[in-house]
Amino acid sequence: HTRLQGDWSSDVCSSDLGGMVVDHLAEQAVRSQTASIERIQVRIDNLPNYQILWGRVDQVKISAAGVYLRQLPDLRVDGFDLETDPLDVDGAALRQGRLKLNQPAQAALRLRLKASDLNIFLASARVQTWLDELQFNLSGFSLEREQRRYGLSHPAIEFLGGDRLRLAIDLQDRLSQESIPIVIETGLEIIQGDRLRLINPTVSIQGIEAPSQLISSLAAGASQTFSLRQLERLGLMLRVLTLKVRDNSLDLAVFARLEPTSPLLQKQSGE
């Protein structure tokens, strides 16, 4: 797949009027797939450039900041840089400012997420639903009622550097209706590009170190629940190549493949 190459933002404008029109149409097509974008630059690499109007695209480069996706409107993406492999798009749809694929699209992506933006997202109802799906128990019994007895809520994150983070969250006992604040510190690792693994996690409950059984249960639950393979049912394959935690932000390098039939591509009425 395409490798990301440095900063090209100073060279984003095509040299001719036709190229500028094509770049503008491509930008409009990208904007149509988002809730909002604070800043975006799009460059089309094609010879001749106008061939994109018939759906032939050698490469697209996009640099954007402050992006809100339609599918995750509570999550602000601080910035991303994307470079695609050759694309086969619907030229008629593009001329109307819409993005429609004739063949799967592949791209390399650099993604930046800030802790402050993530905390807003973590406070959303969508994330709470995901947390409610986590199942673990503290008793050692495998009965279903024990697995569903405990839940998590009110998460907040802080990046510590060294690819480690601190997560504050409430542990709820649904049987006794008690809520206990806990703090988790852990390193992060991506397994096979799609699953999150916790490295040397520590858990404290009101300042007291938690039993190893709780730590193991949380680590296993996170690995099983937060898998990028869940996105494949939406026609999107993501594989994380690198993950870095620094400057209170999370930087990811990702390989992506999007199917033409993906519901993530906004459909127009009548299509």
pLDDT digits (tens, 9 = 90+) for 104-113: 999 999 999 9
- Phi-psi group of 55: left, alpha or beta (phi > 0 → left; psi -120 to 50 → alpha; rest → beta): left
Query: What would the pLDDT profile of 172-189 be if each residue is shown by its tens digit?
Result: 887 888 888 989 898 888
Q: Say if residues 147 and 112 touch (Cβ distance below 8 Å).
A: no
Cα 259 from Cα 63, distance rounded (Å): 22
- Portion of the chain with pLDDT greater than 90, in percent: 30
Task: Summarize pLDDT for 248-271 with one digit per residue, the tens.
Answer: 899 999 999 999 999 888 654 344
What's the mean pLDDT in 68-91?
A: 90
Task: Give the CA distances from residue 127 to residues 104, 121, 132, 245, in Å, rounded to whole numbers and listed in that order.
Answer: 29, 7, 9, 21
Higher-pLDDT residue of 36 and 99 is 36
For 19, residues 6+ apart whose C-beta sits below 8 A from its C-beta are: 13, 44, 49, 50
CA dist list (Å): 110 to 125, 132, 147, 183:
27, 30, 37, 29
Q: How confident is the model at residue 146 (pLDDT cuts 50, 70, 90)?
A: low
Query: Is the overall model pTM greater than 0.75, yes or no?
Result: no
Which helix (H) or strand (E) element contains residue 147? helix 144-147
- Which of 12-21, 22-31, 118-127 shows the lowest per-residue confidence on average (mean pLDDT)? 12-21
Q: How many CA atoms lie within 13 A of 196 on its CB side?
A: 18
Residue 194, Cβ neighbours under 10 Å: how many?
17
Asked if residue 68 has pLDDT above 90, the reply is yes
Higher pLDDT, 120 or 99: 120
> Which pLDDT belongs to residue 9?
43
Nearest alpha carbon to residue 83 among 9, 192, 194: 9
Q: What is the mean pLDDT of residues 131-140?
A: 65
Q: Does residue 116 have a pLDDT over 90?
A: yes
Mean pLDDT of 191-210: 85
Q: Tens digits of per-residue pLDDT, 214-234?
A: 777 777 766 666 678 888 888
- Chain-wide mean pLDDT for the chain? 80
